[in-house]
Copies of this chain bind each other. A is one copy, B any other.
Amino acid sequence: MAVPAATAGDDAAHECVGRLAASATHELQNALAVIRESAGLMQDLVSLCSEGLPHRDRLCTMLSLIQEQVARGGDLAWNLNRLAHAWEEDGEGPRDLGAVLEEFVALARRGCAMRGVELSQGEGPAVRVNAPGLALRASLLRAVRCCLGEGLPGGPADDMAGEAVRSSRPATGGALVLRAALQDGVPGVEMDFTPPGTRAASGATELSTTSADTARCMQACGAEVRQAEAAHLRFFLPCPNCTA
């Protein structure tokens, strides 16, 4: 496919993926709701039974496990549904950046965990932005992948897409905190990054080679390095085409 598709084609593609995913995640939520209701009814039935009910404790444990996984799946389906609507966000007026980060963290958490990095959202000021929904998320993902060392020449092969984890890099203990921020009136995301495996070398005060690579990658993404000390990096990623 040598020739890049026209923008009109890309718009149609974004709309197609968005519509199909929105409809399917809605149906997924319906399926999970039926499971939640059924498991809830069974919990009522089992708790009404006397303690003489055979396997009562095991049944209770398994019903709790089902409800836990329904909640986990429902959270994912909900956030996938929000992502599915991102293509149509552009003309919708200002949105809460924190809500976008919440969705993003829920969807990107697993890919980060596979690289030993715990992704979370930190508290920040309420920032409302007019932003193109897809460009905002793409910019965020690119910056997060910098921190994971993904997508760089010579870096580890990407596996955010759920492929097998390469066993060559079992580092853990990393953390990445995203929070909405305003810097000199510019809306954006503050990113606090502690690379995995840094605890063992916590005595170091110099920036490691890897951290320097990460900082360069982040700068190429349009982020500013605001702090770089030993095992901790802080970036500010301006929200692309945003107005506060």
Contacts and interface: CB of A to CB of B under 8 A. Distances in A.
Interface in A67-81: 69-70, 72-73, 76-77, 79-81
Nearest to A32: B73
Given A62-B41, A83-B20, A161-B85, A31 B138 contact: no
A82 to B, nearest CB: 11
A127 interface: no
Contacts of A45: 54-55, 58-59
A19 B66 contact: no
A70 B65 CA distance: 14
A38 interface: yes
Contact of A80 (B24, B69, B137, B139): B24
Interface stretch (A3-11, A168-176, A194-202, A205-213): A3-11
A83 B84 CA distance: 12
Contacts of A17: 14, 17, 83, 86, 134, 137
Interface in A35-73: 35, 38-39, 41-42, 45, 49, 53-55, 58-59, 62-63, 65-66, 69-70, 72-73
